[in-house]
Amino acid sequence: MAILITGGCGFIGAHTSVEMLNAGYDIVLFDNFSNSQPEVLRRIYEVTNENLQFYQLDMRDKERLEKVFMENRIDAVIHLAGLKAVGESIHLPLKYYDNNINGTVTLIEMMKKHNVKKLVFSSSATVYGLKAQVPISESSPLEATNPYGRSKLMVEEILRDLYISDNEWSIIPLRYFNPVGAHQSGRLGEYPNGTPNNLAPYITQVAAGKLREMSIFGNNYPTPDGTGIRDYLHVTDLALGHVKAIEKVMSGVTGVNAYNLGTGKGYSVLEMIQAFEQIIGKHIPYSIVDRRPGDVAICYADPTKAKAELGWEAQKGLEEMCMDAWRWQVNNPNGYESSFELERSWV
C-alpha cells in the first residue's frame, strides 16, 4: 500500500516526500513540472536513499491519473498540486479556478472511483481573510480576499459537502501559515519561477547579489515597527505536519477536520531582514515602498489544536529557518540546474 503525494516535486511536496519516506511510508508522486523540476526526484533519493514511484502528469488528465490508481494500491492522498501565487491569481483567476478546483474535483472523483477516501489537503491561512483576530484559530471566520485564497476556501467547502454525501471520507485540510527555509542538507529548497513573490527567497536572492535590494511593502501598518507581521514556519516542520495528518486519517477517524500549521509566533518584515543579516553576516539593502494590495497587517496562528489532536508542533526557530534558507541559496545559486533527464521508465 502507498501514499499518493500530488505535486510531489514542489517546495512543500519535496520536503513532505522526504519526511514521509523517513517515516517509513511507500510513496507515489505525480507532478506536471509547471512550477518544479525533475532534478528534485534525484535530490529526494539523495537525502533519503529511498525509492519512490513517479508519474509526470497533470491531475486534469483523467486517463493518466487513472493509471496511477490502477498501477498502485493507494491508501491515502496528500494533495499539494496547485497554483499558489496570490498576485498571479488576481490577474489569471480562471487559470487558478481551473487548476485548483477542477483539478481537485477530478482527483477526488478518481479517488472515489477507486475507493480511496482518506485525504490530506493543502489549504492556506489566506482562507481567514482580513478580519481574522490574532492568534488565528481554526474557528476564526473564513473569508477569502483573492482568487488563490478563494480557490482554497472553495475546495474546503467541496470537501465538506463530499463528506456530507458520504460519511466514509476522512479529510484533513492543513492551513499553512508562511513556510520558509530548506532541507538541512542544502539539497532541497524553495526555487520559485522568476522573481520571488514571497519574502524569504527574495531576501536570500538579494543577499546573494541576484537581486539589487528588498522592497518593503509598507512600514505604516499598526505594528511595533510598522511592517507586516507573519507566522513563519520551517518547511520541514510543515512537512512533518503532513506525516502526523496521514497518521490521523489512517487511524480510522472520519469527517473533515482542519488544522493550522503555524508556530504561534509572528515576526515583522524588518525582524526577518535582521535575522537573515545576523546569519549571513552582511547588510541587506532595502527601500520602503507602497503597501501590496491584499496584504494584512498581522497574521499568526493559534497552533494549539494541531498540538492537541495531531501531536504536532513546530520545532525549529527563526535562526534555523534563516540558516537553512541561506545554505540552500549558497549551494544552489540557480536552483535545481541539472542536465538530469527524466528516464522514460518514470513517465
Q: Which residues bind ligand WQD (CB under 6 A)?
A: 84, 86, 124, 126, 176, 178, 197-199, 202, 215-217, 228, 230, 269, 292, 295
202 belongs to the catalytic site: no
CB contact set of 261 (below 8 Å; sequence gap of 6+): 174, 175, 176, 177, 233, 237, 238, 241, 301, 303, 306, 312, 314
* Dist CA 322 CA 132 (whole Å): 27
Closest CA to 196 of 112, 345, 86: 86
- 96, 148, 259, 286: the catalytic one is 148
Cell numbers standing for residue 195: 522573481
Identify which of residues 47 and 318 has a Cβ nearer to ligand WQD in the complex.
318
Residue with cell 542536465: 339
Identify which of residues 109 and 157 has a Cβ nearer to ligand WQD in the complex.
157
Whether 48 and 78 have beta carbons less than 8 Å apart is answered as: no
Q: What is the nearest approach in angstroms of ligand WQD to the Cβ of residue 293? A: 10
Could you tell me how far CA 181 lies from the centroid of its own chain? 12
Query: What spatial distance separates the first Cα and last Cα of the chain, rounded to whole Å?
Result: 20
Identify which of residues 90 and 158 has a Cβ nearer to ligand WQD in the complex.
90
Dump the DSSP string for 58-127.
-TT-HHHHHHHHHHS-EEEEEE--S---HHHHHH-HHHHIIIIIIHHHHHHHHHHHTT--EEEEEEEGGG
Q: What is the nearest approach in angstroms of ligand WQD to the Cβ of residue 38? A: 23
By beta-carbon distance, which residue lies closest to ligand WQD? Answer: 228
Q: What is the nearest approach in angstroms of ligand WQD to the Cβ of residue 181? A: 13
Cα-Cα-Cα-Cα dihedral of 53, 11, 104, 300, to 10°?
140
HSE-CB for 344 with a 13 A CA cutoff: 0
Q: Which residues pair with 293 in a beta bridge?
A: none
Q: By three-state DSSP, how is residue 331 classified? A: helix
Identify which of residues 220 and 331 has a Cβ nearer to ligand WQD in the complex.
220
Q: What is the nearest approach in angstroms of ligand WQD to the Cβ of residue 67? A: 29
Identify which of residues 172 and 269 has a Cβ nearer to ligand WQD in the complex.
269
* Dist CA 27 CA 21 (whole Å): 7
* Dist CA 111 CA 91 (whole Å): 31
Q: What is the nearest approach in angstroms of ligand WQD to the Cβ of residue 176? A: 5
Residue with cell 498571479: 88
Identify which of residues 69 and 96 has a Cβ nearer to ligand WQD in the complex.
96
HSE-CB for 142 with a 13 A CA cutoff: 18
Q: What is the nearest approach in angstroms of ligand WQD to the Cβ of residue 195? A: 9
The catalytic residues are 148
